[in-house]
Structure 1
């Protein structure tokens, strides 16, 4: 059975530029990856844009120095976002590309940087309105037939995207990644505010979670730690709601004998649709703290879960 959390590798490569990787950056990344692996994390999340490719490069060097680490872990990476001076030309705007050539070139670059022959899953990072689903789907099927990927995922997309890709893909669509956290609660707010004026403040793809559950598509939550504002990082000045929520988190953590990080991430795990949070801290202590989230979710009562939700909202449910 897979570990219920995913380790996000976005921060491993340092600045998002094309500067050289320093020994300090490598050592810090190696320490973080080793801590995650020893704690139980078995899926590591990458993207071609992370630190302009340096996150994948560092991870590849870690695997080369520590080949035993490759045993028992899976890798997923993402493609499709073109950032000037990163994955795109300096004189271009930020844009998205999911055409056949771009997908292949992006994956081949990721495999080279990671130093592996294949990845478990290739995730399309953002939708590209200028590329047909047929072209994108065929590109992904070709990569799978060549043994370069095992499955496909979608990121930051709607139920319509999921259903449409399922129609054109022969490759299994096994994951959807989307922003979800105690701070970014649209996935639950939209469930209860359908006929409320307040509901216009929230946006989450209608029916996405139930569809994924029915089709056994894993839902991965990026931003799961809510930037740490409830678990130790200073809340924005004057944000009394965040301060009050931090107090509830701390009280529940003490009662459950777990970390504050575990309570924040555990709030997602407590949801019945088996959400799999992505956590990306490089601090080994916080990595181990996050790993207590399954225990927090198990100990979290129905009332606890609603108390956290209400605190984060700043006012009562309707």
Structure 2
């Protein structure tokens, strides 16, 4: 049974699948966006809308802001679209610039406010539906974060807030100081990225492989009605047509199993891979990263599939490459 999204429970009419927009805008350089970039954006948006996706995920750093600029052009070309869809963006990462030796994380009050203003300008809109803090910042002052989010809320620039790549403890710390609830946590989860499951099944066992997933994070989000979003849910095509040359046995075997299940259910490998995530009772919302219209279309129907418990476990154990304890 497909569970209701926590976002829907909060009255936000988000689609079961979201489209990640990191692939829009061309290269990660300082070149201006082109007519071809805008055309690609239109085609990706149209493909997403055609399969019922109304949720679009951005970040201020995606192709150095050009992904948001492309979307701004789409809004100008399609009057009325902004009110029909949900826009989520992120802030908190500073990319390497000339003279820098590394990228840094920054969720200071100043950077959050500046980042949101930049996003709004590039998108050509006056509000973001959801703003995520992109990465945990070791120098974070939660009281300062709270001030920034309060200012964004009362100004109407941001309607809701969330985080990305954070543990339960980090969310609790922020929530202690922030009046506004954090309603999203976006994590790297897929049939290839299964440490969030391995952390569960390995309780009271000798450490298995190199599990670093923070214990209790999935459970905390479920209890607090925080929407779990999965970035990288298609595993970069590892199980849906990407070359398997040089891949380990567990990946080859899992790709074959996905293909067979797709044949049995008369659907696509992409739909099977997404359905595996959405079968989990945490009501995970996959954020697909492709902007290829054909691959977007291949995800259609994933939210209508139901995997049996055996099918779900067969895929998990196959990807794990080792029997369960």
Q: Please give the TM-score of this superposition, normalised by the length of structure 1.
A: 0.95
In the alignment, what sits opposite 1:310?
317
> Quick one: distance in 1 between partners of 2:168 and 2:21?
26
Per the alignment, in what secondary structure is the counterpart of residue 221 of structure 1? strand
Measured after TM superposition, the shift of residue 198 of structure 1 is: 4.5
Paired residue secondary structure (2:222): helix
Report the more deviating stretch, 165-174 or 106-115: 165-174
Question: Once structures 1 and 2 are overlaid, which stretch shifts more, 8-17 or 67-76?
Answer: 67-76
Whether 1:176 and 2:185 are equivalent positions in the alignment is: yes
Shift of 1:62: 0.6
Within 5 Å, give how 1:92-111 maps onto structure 2: 92-111=101-120
Correspondence 1:117 to 2:126? yes
Cα distance in 2, alignment partners of residues 131 and 314 from structure 1: 38
Separation of aligned partners in 1, 2:113 and 2:45: 27
Partner residue of 1:158 out of 153, 167, 171: 167
Contact 1:37 1:69 in 2 (8 A): no
Range with bigger deviation, 173-182 or 61-70: 61-70
Which of 47, 63, 74 does residue 59 from structure 2 map onto? 47
* Aligned counterparts of 1:195 and 1:273: Cα–Cα separation in 2: 23
Which whole-Å CA distance do the structure 1 matches of 2:115 and 2:289 have between them?
A: 22
TM-superposed deviation, 1:237: 1.1
Quote the residue 1:196 is aligned against.
205
Alpha-carbon contact 2:14-2:86 (below 8 Å) kept: no
Q: Pick closer, same or farther for the CA change 1:103–1:236 going to 2, 3 Å.
A: farther
CA distance in 2, matches of 1:62, 1:134: 37
**Residue pair 1:5, 1:291 contacting (<8 A) in 2 also:** no
State the Cα deviation string for residues 71-115 of structure 1 (Å, max 9, x = none): 321101000101113xxx642521111111111000000000001
Task: Give CA-to-partner distance per residue, 1:8-45, whole Å, 9 cap, x none.
Answer: 00001111111121222221121011111222111100
Q: Number of residues paired by the alignment?
A: 313
Q: Which runs of 4+ in 1 moved over 4 A?
A: none
Are 2:140 and 1:128 aligned? Answer: no
- 2:35 corresponds to 1:23: yes
User: Which 5+ residue runs of structure 1 have no aligned equivalent?
Assistant: none
Q: What is the alpha-carbon root mean square deviation over aligned residues? A: 1.3
1:138 is aligned to 147
Q: Which moved more, 1:222-231 or 1:286-295?
A: 286-295
